[in-house]
Chains A and B, each alone.
Chain A
Amino acid sequence: MSETGVFAFELGDELATRCGNTLTGVFVPGSRIALSAYRHVTHSSRDAPTETAGQDPVLIYMAQESTLFDEPVLRSVLAEANATFATLQQLGSRATRAEYVNISRAYRSIVRSCLEKLEQAKKSPEVQTDEARLQRLSDAIVVFYAAECLWHLFEILYIQSNQLVVPQLLDWARFHSPLAEDRATDLLLMGEEASESDDYWSIVRSLIMLGEIDITRALLSQNRKAGQTSFKAAEQILKSMPVYQEGYALQKFHSQWEFWHVDTERKIQSGLFATEPELEQLLRLVAGDNEQWDDGIKESQDFFEYLPGYLLFTKPTCKPFELKIAAAHWLNRWCLLQPEKKQCAMNRMVSQLMDHDLKIFIYDAQKLNDTHWFSTHLIDLIHHCGQLKSYFDQNNIDLPALRHSMIYEYGSYLMTSHNMWQLGIDYLDCCKQEGQAAIELLLPRITLRSERQATKLINLARQRGLISVEREICKVLSKRSYDNERYGNALEWAIRSKDVLLVTAVADFILKHYSKTGCMLCPDTIANVGGRMFASPRLVFLSKYFEFYEFYRNRDFLSASELLVNLLESKITPDYFWPSLLIDSMPLLESKDPKIFAKETVAILHHIETDLVPIIERNVSKYGKHHSETVFKDYRVENVDEILNLLRLACARNLARALIIENTMPVV
């Protein structure tokens, strides 16, 4: 947990050095800053190109905050915490205390398993050779170790909130100073030899100061001199120390404990242990002798290391509010005895917790270099378990608002970095309208790597009813496919986007391409559009025309002519397609056996005169008579006005023929 200073940016490219290495930056989405060279311009500067304009390339640099979570091992903390976070949200604020304690433990176990993974990773050869990564892992271990330690203490004091805190505090201190215990294990394995070992007494002292009475007894019983009276007496004292158990009458316990305490002091004073100075020192510690404990304080790394042990021997039934006073005294003593030690952030935060100074604690917790993982999840847990509500009310802290803003920030961070959008979205979901709006902005900004990923994003958007996001993604993909000349794909994405204009544009392109070249693009897609065709009238036309095209190709001329007449009547024919459509009718009109009835032929003639002719006229007035540039083209004819007469003639011939056939009585 380092309190980093202000970072300095410097570009140092040619353009920047030319104007005094100044730069400007803009925040861009995704917690990044775009940096580029900058020259100051005021109202009095001349508005002219600089003399060196165009000489150097303009470079834009993207600066991104580097965080602990660049390390892949740490991703599991985020992912696992996300699952626990979601469980807590489901639990709401009406669950029992035990359930909240379980959640808190789940969070801590995430950190502990992560610490284990980090230690393992640190030992692996690929990390050992990578200096930067090794440093990053070490930093991460420091941060998460602190997070676990503080969370544990918080859990004891504010979530479990038992009446008596000493036993839990002992567990807490032992876990965070494991050295003595490790060494004790070695000594125990050595058996009787252990008592010769140089650090035997210092380890035993540490164990006592950590309140590890059982291990101390085991070590003492292994001592060569264990048979002597002084050792037996010491064993007796340690064994008979009363330990408070839940449900025991407090008054009764107090009198027992007081008796044991006085008895111990008396034994020490009587010189029972005078022959064994080390043992006597040890028992003085047990009796709470201030001189001895002061020596202990001088040895300790952190001020809180031996505090629980001290409480065990001086005030075993310490209550949370008494802890506040005891901790303050203890910290004073520690500072007096170790004046050279600087107060580190960790010590400060532990004392804030014991001091019930949560306001400052939360403030400091946000300074941990973990992109607010710790503070966000802790505040969320505080909010849900509701035990500290009165504290926050008294201190004028709007806890729901604080939680809201923390979760919002944390969620936005995840949404914009390291492909963690799936995790981030859960946090933003808890932030009501702001969260919804942030999702709406951030979701479409996620780089689309593949269509499968796109469908996942769309699915997320759909679950939240963000139709605009769904549309935007589909439109981007449609445009992308279109640029790649993959029209079938573009059409399908366009249909998914439900954007009428886009569908029309793609369908238009396919129709125009057909009328120009006679080649139908992506027939397999159009054939399967089915009920989706109603996305746009143009698509309906395209599908229907395609149906006609297929009938025609398969020589089913009767169905083809019927469909063609329907198409002509449908009023959805785009202007540019009239020539193609009418030219299509020509072979059907001219075929040997008549396929179009008289009434339909009149209709075709009608369309030639009312639809095609005005278009040609408009075209002529726009471009001149024999201009090759026309608004419409068909691959089958060079100049559209030439076919007018042919069409009219074909209609006339078919009309004559059809009239005769239709009006002739069948000869029986």
Chain B
Amino acid sequence: MSFANVSTHYISEKVSRVRWLPEELQQSERFVTGSWDMDQNFVRLWRLLSNQYATATDSDVDQIPRCMDKVRMEDDVTAMEFVDKDTLAVSCADGHLSVFNVHRAVEEDQMQRTSRSGLLHCFQRSQEPAPCTDLSTYGTDIATAGEDGCVSIVSVENVRQVKRQIEADSMALFSICYISQQELVTANRMGVIRVLDGRVATEAQPKTTFMVASQDDKSNFVSSLAKHPMQHHILLCGSEEGSITVWDMRNLSYPASYLSAHKSPINEIGFHQKDPSKLFTAAEGGEVWMWSENKVLGSDYTKDGHSPWLSGDRVRSLVDVEGVLSNIRKSINSFDVHGSRLVCGGDTEAVYLVDNIV
């Protein structure tokens, strides 16, 4: 399979996150981007419009994104996630969380900030705001992780009230992910992954920690966590050295599999939400790869609920990898897949649209 249809659109902003707007029955036509490291940072809402010049220039780019609305942010956007169809949670490097409402319209789509939380993350001593680094959602709950090592849980209905604040780590947290309604996993800069319980306070937290695998004894931060959309006990970690470590949450004594993949830190890792046999990784070195379960070889495995991701050393033979984008040379910070379309963006100040991905 080849991905002939890659189109590049320069948008004059370094992109930190990109997400498709959720659509149930059709291919999503709209996506949001958040920028970072700019003089002014924005969350922008984009919509794909048909390219008027397509016939004139006989190019194969038949859709171009157009910015429909934008909202200025106080600092870098660090993470974005849709809570439901029109509600977007955005975490910001000033330690606050914002909730946006997206309004789909026939002509001009709109987007407003409906609420902004109090300071969720700050450094104890100086009381200066600490960057919020990642967020994860479950139902109406939003959990944010910060550089201060804390995890804050708020409900989307009222983000001004903090439901729980857990001092999870003495080090900066880089990534967070819900694995069930109560349980969260966080990863810090040293590569230590912790399991937290959202119901209890700091003191009563379970002391479950495990370390991401790495090739040598160097620090190896976990930059992104992802759980399998169907089999929730499978947790994947993308790390600084570019490798993927897979954990079976039912057995934490050793990693289920370990794959060395990219040559640079993995910035985002995630499954296709509707087709979990596909996994995607985006790396700092400017690559997006697709990992697909090898149907023929893996058939006897998948039958009894075994995922090839848990098969240890054999995982290489059960999973095929192919490059979706390569040679971008600069970091791809984020991607999102919806249906057969992938959008990704990064420090090249461009978004890339890839059609017919699956």
Contacts and interface: CB of A to CB of B under 8 A. Distances in A.
Interface of A: 72-76, 79-80, 82-83, 86, 418-419, 422, 426, 449-453, 455-456, 459, 484-489, 492, 495-496, 521-522, 524-525, 528, 530-532, 534
Contacts of B217: 530-532, 534
A525 B133 contact: no
B170 A79 contact: no
B10 A484 contact: no
B125 A524 contact: no
B219 A528 contact: no
A642 B224 CA distance: 55
Nearest to A485: B125
Contacts of A521: 170
B329 A451 contact: no
Given A419-B38, A426-B329, A484-B128, 12 more contacts: A72-B38, A79-B348, A79-B349, A80-B10, A82-B348, A452-B78, A459-B264, A486-B149, A492-B171, A525-B170, A531-B217, A532-B218
Contacts of B330: 422
Interface in B153-174: 169-172, 174
B211 interface: yes
The 8 residue pairs across chains A and B that have the minimum distance between CB atoms: A488-B170, A531-B217, A76-B10, A522-B170, A75-B12, A79-B349, A450-B131, A485-B125
B189 interface: yes
A496 B240 CA distance: 13
Interface string B296-332: 0000000000000000000000000000000001110
B173 to A, nearest CB: 10
B190 A455 contact: no
Contacts of A489: 149, 170-172, 189
Contacts of A488: 149, 169-171
B329 A73 contact: no
Contact of A451 (B126, B128, B147, B218): B147
B347 interface: yes
B93 interface: yes
Contacts of B37: 419, 449, 453
A513 to B, nearest CB: 13
A418 B39 contact: yes
Main secondary structure of the interface of A (DSSP, over half): helix
Nearest to A451: B172
Given A449-B76, A484-B126, A75 B329 contact: no
B174 A452 contact: yes
Nearest to B207: A524
Interface in B77-119: 78, 93
B76 A496 contact: no
Contacts of B271: none
A528 B170 CA distance: 12
A418 B93 CA distance: 18
A73 B331 contact: no
A72 B170 contact: no
18 contacts: A72-B12, A72-B38, A79-B12, A83-B329, A419-B38, A419-B39, A426-B329, A459-B264, A484-B124, A484-B128, A486-B148, A489-B170, A492-B171, A492-B190, A492-B219, A522-B171, A525-B171, A528-B211
Contacts of A72: 12-13, 38-40
Given A450-B93, A525-B190, A532-B217, A485 B124 contact: yes
B221 interface: yes
Interface string B48-73: 00000000000000000000000000
B342 to A, nearest CB: 19
A33 to B, nearest CB: 20
- What's the interface size class on B, roughly? 35 or more
B125 A484 contact: yes
A74 B217 CA distance: 44
A524 B347 contact: no
A535 to B, nearest CB: 10
Contacts of A418: 39
A233 B209 CA distance: 93
Contacts of A75: 12-13, 349
Contacts of B348: 79, 82-83
A654 B348 CA distance: 70
B189 to A, nearest CB: 6
Interface in B213-258: 217-219, 221, 240
Nearest to A493: B189
Given A449-B37, A451-B131, A487 B124 contact: no
Contacts of B10: 76, 79-80
Interface in B1-27: 10-14
A76 B174 contact: no
A75 B38 CA distance: 11
Given A75-B12, A486-B123, A492-B189, A455 B221 contact: yes
B350 interface: yes
B192 interface: yes
Contacts of B293: none
Contacts of B284: 456, 459
A449 B93 contact: yes
B352 to A, nearest CB: 12
Contacts of B78: 450, 452
Given A528-B192, A531-B217, A79 B350 contact: yes
B265 interface: yes
B192 A524 contact: yes
A159 to B, nearest CB: 22
A459 B221 CA distance: 12
A666 to B, nearest CB: 39
Contacts of A487: 170
Interface string B275-302: 0000000001000000000000000000
A484 B125 CA distance: 6
A640 B63 CA distance: 79
A539 to B, nearest CB: 13
B162 to A, nearest CB: 21
Contacts of A79: 10, 12, 348-350
A646 to B, nearest CB: 35
Nearest to B329: A86
A495 B124 CA distance: 23
A530 B211 contact: yes
B274 to A, nearest CB: 30
A72 B44 CA distance: 14
Contacts of A83: 329, 348
B12 A455 contact: no
B338 to A, nearest CB: 25
